[in-house]
Chains A and B, each alone.
Chain A
């Protein structure tokens, strides 16, 4: 290497290492999946295995760690001018990036459920805020539009909407690596360049074809399940109840998301009712889900509590629904100013689903209304610290500020209101007015 090429080469290597390390860091530390409310899900927490609800911890076999390792391999290959290795590393990175959002929405039903629940809770929390709290009059800027997850298309759209910075870093890193690998990078020697470029088209073909293949493989079972659901509805409409049941069950077998969808159990219960079988767990779910039953939410909950089944998944679906109904009940009781009962309902909801952010939000306000200001401030501050959604966070801090004010802890109240305004500084009349308030004398 002569003097004229050494300096540019050194510069290029520096740029490559800085970029790769930056991307690797971003892949590990920043979010791959942006949950609507909570601070999940960083690359190093995004495990290849099944998602478990609750606090997430770093995992060696996580998408972030694997992507970071590949990025480091890629930059090593670049340094050593192993163009083909660099290109194939890029291909693997692109495959990892393709797989990650598909895992969230097509493969891992638990993860998709958490996403859906948070999106729903975001809407419900905003509705509660508008109806029950001193509101800020603004709409929630970060709020996702209503999340629809009925079809494969919907789920792919959701996959696209929820991907975040870490994922983008990996995609950019992968594209750069494939691009450089396919082009022969910095190679000036004609022969090496020709060799590198010879495999370039194939490399792009593998990258894109492989990504498409992963997409197809991940979508095929959900698509078949969808088709079975359609057949189930058609059979039911024609009065072929047995055919409908078979199709529903096949759909639930094919797709984990359908398996944890309470509407499918309810549909099976509806078939049971048509056949006169009113003692099945599915019928109880169906009956509990009827709007006429839910006029009395407790009756609906009691019906669900009577569900006994050996199917652990079914049982967990029922328990989660109970938690949702308790939380819904708490909201109704709050509207009726039965705050003490609302506290009990929220606590029951939390007992069944300890990760319900909505139940905690309601509970914080319920405590405030019954005069348990310390508890209200504590739960609101704890919850706010754990959240990412700025508007929700700001409301929680304002709630805490209200509670501290009632306690006479004005310094803490001011801190809470200031935090509220820090996180929502666009339309935060509540926080701003509490901090600053309209004056008395105006001349």
Chain B
């Protein structure tokens, strides 16, 4: 490209760079001033301690008993727990909160559930992520009529257990009537977190800790079903947030200072616990009841208790709204329109504003409010606590959209963006003119040089943005005027430095930067590979083997026994017709290391470590050593890569082999005539990859599309005989395997559906039951760790289309995912695991194309200071990329589309079902006359060397086989071939034949095995003897249980 052309191209890029920077700054400004997200409030737990069950474990059950002598007027509790908690008050579930791998929190109004007498607050905290025990921290308080606030905190006086220790056929573990003195005391434990992962809540705790003094008010006509009310209040200039708490007898609209801000299209009511539904339906108040309401002193004891309201099943809810955006210093006006049904329009409202001294300003509904349109004074009917509803339950509001909410929201965003972009472009043009004048440069060159000055600010803002997704920081920590001022100062500072630099550093040719030495690069790669190996090898056997792994192990034993993979299920000898290669590597490893977990994890560890090196090599060959090293570095810390390296199933092996296929095929066809040696390697890689997992078959169409995209217009490769020879061999292998699979499919005797029923690609589009074209977009491209890479991928691939390597990777990747989405009628995160390497390579490749463009703007004529800016900015962007792709550094969990519940292994620490712990527990406890019933009997057999007596699946969601080879033909499970329990009647039948049953069942939704009737039966009749990650052991007494007692 000529110098002029280069300069023009740079100027266009400079324009794009400044525009992007302006958009990022505009985003920060809008998030700070125009549309801030929900406020964040850190919870203060005071003296509350983190507590855990007596034996550190994955499940924790906690109980605290409160004895309350009088009726309760206020009660609240705030809870923090590891991963997941369910809060119960007096046996009623109040809340469930879940967010994987962080300490989740919540604050709740529990007054409706508290009664005079004995109360129990119970918390169940099952862990989903490892390591560490289930832990809980809680504090709360309550106040009684005329009494003081009494607080309670979690500490060593709480009761705790690893299992739900209720009484069989009687009180459950969370029941207030249960005598928990046989429970152990909870263990207070310090939390060793350098940076706390305890989350903030979105509602101010002060609203729960104090009562509103607001009055119920009505208009001049106490029977009117519709009414508008208006009130005014003053606010100081320096103040904190403002919250409106509001309850009404009907639907309502709220205007604050003329802005229409809240729309509740229906009456918001809470169904009270302990109350009985009546034929009359929801609670209402008629005009006949008004005289009772107007008595100021009806807040007597009896009127306050939900139990004492015979005909009320629900009461108005006091909802809290953040109205800080719409209030201002000085006088403010609130207008509320209430549209009740067949009740009078009544209103109770309270505006709470935090003051600078830590205090609180309150503005409440009372007789100073006016009824509109006549401006008559409102009538006070009684305070919160008045009959017939008593003290109102309190909750944060989910604000329904007001009409035109989108226009109100996006209008300011649009204007803000336009204003910032325009201002910044004008500043750029002006500054470039000055700079050009000072340095004697042409207009385009000055524009390019000035654009470089934006890069440090852009990098800084992007790093701040990334950190808002880190769970250790508040979501809005950087949307502050100070940060924006800092960003602007950085830009101004850069310009000052530029002008000063222009005076001292004349324009001159760029000095070449010496490339790093070969040995240094090799050492850098070696360090990354070794580091990745150590990360993967550490705690290699920490997690129990899974069902798929043990199935492969059973087949590996078949290899050792007979020379081919097979396993016995009931009276069948089942030939393995999928993942055929996996058992061979497992068998080889077990020959060396024996029948141990390590032996079965070792092949995956080796393949995963090799993949770290290979991805570096591929990056080096397709791009340059920087792309290779960064890709290798990202992959070394890649959470799914680490997790699958500790898993004996196929993904690590298949990923390694498919990466070989991608790379060698590129080498073979990227330029000139096809290279036969690479083609042969590519075909071999494909065949091995295909025999590791048949889904790799889609590599063929993907690679065909890729070669068309790379060599469009040049079809000489079609005349290459070796190409078709390789293709023929691959086709023969695929067709043979598919035929073998079809022939060995024992579907004729099987009932139900399983993955083995998928024998060939199908048009998933026609099957609406499973079709989900966006599945892999969510699971592959936009989980937290891939998010930024995918941003580069989607925004950059068209701009880098001329780069052959990027085009090849992108086309292969998109074609592959298109095939998986549309031709494979089952979706799973592991199915796109082979494409993860493509995402990394492609994302890093595009990033470096952009980075080099920034670093080299201005070309050889750039002055020294500009090169410094260029390289510093580029380095900062590289750091940003590394931070965004490394969850050991930045826990950017909030970036995922499904942040609370990430896809399998997408986040470090995910623990699958703990079959090992459950099996070993049962083996220790079982006695002669007992029987074991396991949903996955092969797991039990692997860990104990004993075959369970039965399998169970009353949900009928797993395939079952009809086994006619038994003495009495029957259905057997698909895993091990044990007799299968398929209903409650069958379970009871089995129960009657044994002294005791040990039932091992999964407990999470994604692994359901038991139908509700059986679950209910086990909950009532059984006792949970052991619980760990996603697995429970239920002990069920047999027929002679009563005589034994």
Q: Which residues of B contact A439 (CB under 8 A)?
A: 970-971, 982, 986
B753 sits at the interface (CB 8 A): yes
With A137-B1011, A165-B765, A442-B989 as known contacts, state yes or no: A239 contacts B373, CB within 8 Å: yes
What is the interface residue range for chain A against chain B?
35 or more
| A441 near B768: Cβ-Cβ < 8 Å | no
Q: Mark A150-175, 1 if CB is under 8 A from B, else 0.
A: 11111000000000010000000000
The docked-state distance in angstroms from the alpha carbon of A233 to that of B751 is: 58
- The answer to whether the Cβ of A21 comes within 8 Å of any Cβ in the partner chain is no
- Contact check: which of A137, A240, A424 meets B769 at CB < 8 Å? A424
A292 to B744, alpha carbons, bound, how many Å?
A: 64
Q: Judge if B1012 is at the interface, Cβ distance under 8 Å.
A: yes
A423 to B401, CA, bound (A): 37
Which residue in B339, B407, B986 is a CB contact (below 8 Å) of A226?
Answer: B407
Residues on B with C-beta less than 8 A from A154 are: 401, 406
Per-position binary interface string of chain B over residues 326-358, scored 1 when its CB falls under 8 Å from any chain A CB and 0 otherwise: 000000000111010110000000000000000
Note all chain B residues with C-beta closer than 8 A to A186: 713
B471, chain A: closest CB distance, angstroms: 26
User: Could you tell me the distance between the alpha carbons of A230 and B267 in the complex, rounded to whole angstroms?
Assistant: 19
Nearest-neighbor residue (CB-CB) of A156 within chain B: B406
Contact of A7 with B by CB under 8 A: yes
Q: Which of B729-786 contact A (CB under 8 A)?
A: 751-753, 765, 767-770
Q: A292-B284, A426-B769 are in contact. Are A8 and B715 (CB under 8 A)?
A: yes
- Residues of B447-463 at the interface with A, using a CB-CB cut-off of 8 Å, are none
CA distance A292 to B343 in the complex (A): 9
Per a CB cutoff under 8 Å, which of B255, B281, B408 touches A238?
B255
Q: Which B residues are CB-close (under 8 A) to A234?
A: 253, 255, 258, 260
Chain A residues near B401: list those with CB within 8 A: 148, 150-151, 154
**Cα–Cα distance between A223 and B265 once the two chains are bound (Å):** 20
Q: Which of A222-249 contact B (CB under 8 A)?
A: 223, 226-227, 229-230, 232-234, 236-240
A233-B402 in contact (CB<8A)? yes
Residue interface mask A275-298, B partner, CB < 8 A = 1:
000000000000000111001000
Instruction: List residues of chain B with CB within 8 A of the CB of A432.
Output: 751-752, 956
Q: Is A358 an interface residue (CB 8 A)?
A: no
Distance (whole angstroms) from the CB of B40 to the closest CB of chain A: 25
Take A151-B403, A230-B403, A292-B341 as given contacts and tell me if A443 and B955 are in contact as well, using a CB distance cutoff of 8 Å: no
The smallest C-beta distance from B684 to any residue of chain A, in angstroms, reads 29
The CA-CA distance from A292 to B280 in the complex, in Å, is 9
Q: Is A80 in the interface zone, CB < 8 Å from B?
A: no
Which chain A residue lies CB-closest to B765?
A165
Known: A223-B407, A237-B253, A442-B990. 18 other contacts (CB 8 A): A142-B769, A152-B406, A226-B406, A233-B337, A233-B402, A237-B337, A238-B335, A239-B373, A273-B226, A290-B341, A291-B281, A292-B341, A295-B281, A390-B769, A429-B955, A435-B751, A438-B983, A442-B989
Are A237 and B336 neighbours in the complex by a CB distance under 8 Å? yes
* B341/A426 in contact, CB under 8 A: no
User: Of A11, A141, A388, A442, which one neighbours B986 at CB under 8 angstroms?
Assistant: A442
Give Cα distance in the complex from A423 to B767, angstroms.
8
Q: Shortest CB–CB separation between residue B824 and chain A, in angstroms?
A: 15
Q: Which of A151, A240, A390, A441 contacts B970 (CB 8 A)?
A: A441
Closest to B335 in A: A237
Residues of chain B at the chain A interface (Cβ within 8 Å): 225-226, 228, 253-255, 258, 260, 263, 265, 267, 280-282, 284, 335-337, 339, 341-342, 372-373, 401-408, 410, 713-715, 751-753, 765, 767-770, 955-957, 967-968, 970-971, 979, 981-983, 985-986, 989-990, 1008, 1011-1012
Interface string of A111-134 (1 = CB under 8 A from B): 000000000000000000000000
**Inter-chain contacts of B957 with A (CB < 8 A):** 426-427, 429
Interface of chain A residues 386 through 443 with chain B (CB within 8 A): 388-391, 423-427, 429, 432-433, 435-436, 438-439, 441-443
User: Would you call B970 and A443 a contact (CB within 8 A)?
Assistant: yes
Chain B residues whose CB sits within 8 angstroms of the CB of A142 once the complex forms: 768-769
When the two chains form the complex, which single residue of B253, B265, B280 contacts A236, counting CB atoms closer than 8 Å? B253
Query: Contact at A274–B226, with CB atoms within 8 Å?
Result: yes
Determine how close the nearest CB of chain A comes to the CB of B854; give it in whole angstroms. Answer: 24
Contacts between chains A and B (CB distance < 8 A), count: 142
Q: How far, in Å, is A107 (CB) from chain B's closest CB?
A: 18
In the bound assembly, the distance between CA atoms of A230 and B1008 in angstroms comes to: 47
Task: List residues of chain A with CB under 8 Å of any chain B CB.
Answer: 7-8, 11, 137, 141-142, 148, 150-154, 165, 186, 223, 226-227, 229-230, 232-234, 236-240, 263, 270, 273-274, 290-292, 295, 388-391, 423-427, 429, 432-433, 435-436, 438-439, 441-443
Provide a sorted-by-A list of 7 A–B residue pairs whose CB atoms are within 8 angstroms. Answer: A150-B403, A165-B765, A236-B253, A290-B342, A425-B769, A426-B753, A443-B970
**Is B407 a contact of A152 with CB atoms below 8 Å?**
yes
Minimum CB–CB distance for A11 against chain B, Å:
6
Contacts of B282 in A (CB 8 A): 291
Contact B404 A429 (CB under 8 A): no
Closest Cβ of chain A to B758, distance in Å, is: 12
Most buried by A among B342, B403, B406, B990: B403
Q: Complex Cα distance A148/B403, Å?
A: 12
Do the beta carbons of B768 and A389 come within 8 Å of each other?
Answer: yes
A295 / chain B contacts, CB cutoff of 8 Å: 280-281
Taking a contact as CB atoms under 8 Å apart, the answer to whether B768 and A443 are in contact is no
Q: Which of A153, A233, A389, A433 has a CB less than 8 Å from the CB of B253?
A: A233
Q: In the complex, what residues of B have CB within 8 A of residue A240's CB?
A: 373
Contact B403 A438 (CB under 8 A): no
Residue of B nearest to A168 (CB): B773
Q: In the complex the two chains form, is A8's CB within 8 Å of B402's CB?
A: no
B335:A151 contact, CB within 8 angstroms: no
When chains A and B are docked, how far (Å) is the Cα of A442 from the Cα of B986? 7
User: Closest Cβ of chain B: how far from A63's Cβ, in Å?
Assistant: 19
Q: Is A442 a contact partner of B981 (Cβ separation < 8 A)? A: yes
Minimum C-beta distance from A18 to chain B (A): 13
B986 contacts across to A, CB distance below 8 A: 438-439, 442
